[in-house]
Amino acid sequence: MRSNSLKDPFQTLVGAALALCVVGAPTAMAATQAEINNAIDKGLTYLEGTQAAGGYWNYGGYEQATTGAAVFAMLSQRSQWGANTAAYQAEVDKGINYLLQSASLMNGAPNGISTRNDGVNICPGGAGSCTGVYWYGAGEATYTTGQVAMAIAEYAKATPNAVATATGPLAGMTWKQIAQGVINSYAASQSTAVNGNKDGGWRYYIPGNGDSDMSTTQWAVLASIYGQSLGATTPAAVVNSLKNWLTAVQAADGGACYQPGVGPCDQADTGGMLMALDFVGKTTADTSVQKALTYLNNNWTQGANGTWYGNFNQPYSMWAQYKGLELNIGLGNTSAITNLLDSTCGGDSPTTCNWWQDYNEWLVNTQSGDGSWGGYAYWYGPLATAYFLPILGGAEIPIPNPDPEPETLVLLATGLFLLARSRQRKAGS
């Protein structure tokens, strides 16, 4: 049984009475770029209009997670702000300020952590202690902090060494230092061999509790990916332990299970696993990656079901799969996912329909008049909209650094690797 979590996010918020959107969306006209742009504009307007005066988005106690997701979504579509640039920037600034002021320091004070539960030092450079940063998120800090980390990295990518704030718990820290503090918290909270087959994953809490699940683990990976984009580093020991988890959690059919040998094994967890496989250095030629892609293709047309499962109309699952697919195969790939919901979804280029266009066709056709998406179960309104906008806009997930803590002598090789990966993804290979 899954317990109360943000994968189940916000279970206390919404009852079974939430109406479900119909998966079989109208398909009379494929989504053109103009229609996609219009849907993005409407979504941005909706998010701006639903932000509270305090800079957050109301979500029944889960304001930090939803604000992180909404800020990231708005920033990911910055190229479409147009005449609304000043207004949207003000909303984003308020959201980021709310997040900075509501952060927590691990163990309640600076310089409060040093090792995982197996005694391995997780501080950069082997320092005796280091600062841990996280967001409590109504007790589900692992999910919440990952979503906030993405927003902060997107917000600060041009100025990682600038001081983020002069007030609050993070006063005087640069964006890069905050990103490093986030990675430190995750590293100290990772389950290890001490925890048996939970080794290498994460659960809901920071500090960690020695348990793991695949849904939670994806947010630790995302926080590391986005933190590294600001210049922070991930301990090699964390990456090596994560490899153990990824091996244990993959089922024979390629899908990722919630926990090793514990179903269900579903699309959302598989999308998160794909992203994590890329993070630990697996390429599309790797058997585990190929099996995961096959699993997603075989189950691509499923609608949302059973609260946590399925694909279309399941915001959490669609966003998880998008991140894994975009990072591994790019937006233009037509060979990995061929079992499409709508084979005429190609929009301006109907003969080259692919997985991303299939998503966009569905999203354009199911958007509400106010710019939101009704969502499903615990993912609705501002959170569903925040997950869907980056998909429509083709948000590019930062390419993980192939060496978690690169030495000076390999920096050039790393740069060339990242350039090659970027070109590969744009080509959809």
**Per-residue pLDDT, 352:** 66
Spell out the domain ranges in the chain: 33-427
Q: Residue 422 burial (CB < 10 Å; 0-12/13-18/19+)?
A: middle
Q: How far is CA 128 from CA 122, 185, 318, 399, in A?
A: 9, 15, 41, 30
The residue with tokens 């099996």 is 291
pTM of the shown model: 0.89
271-330 pLDDT tens trace: 999 999 999 999 999 999 999 999 999 999 999 999 999 999 999 999 999 999 999 999
The pLDDT of residue 259 is: 96
d(CA 89, CA 391): 21
Pick the CATH number of 33-427 from 2.60.40.10, 1.50.10.20, 3.10.450.50, 3.40.1350.10: 1.50.10.20
The overall average pLDDT reported for the chain is 88
- pLDDT band at residue 109, thresholds of 50, 70 and 90? low
Q: Is 304 in contact with 20 (CB distance < 8 Å)?
A: yes
pLDDT in tens, 160-199: 999 999 999 999 999 999 999 999 999 999 999 999 999 9
pLDDT of residue 422: 52
The distance in angstroms from the start CA to the end CA of the chain is 38
The predicted-structure confidence for 206-238, as pLDDT tens digits, reads as follows 988 899 999 999 999 999 999 999 999 999 999
pLDDT at 14 over 70: no
Angle at 35 between CA 31 and CA 39, to 5 degrees: 115
Is the predicted pLDDT of residue 405 greater than 80, yes or no?
no
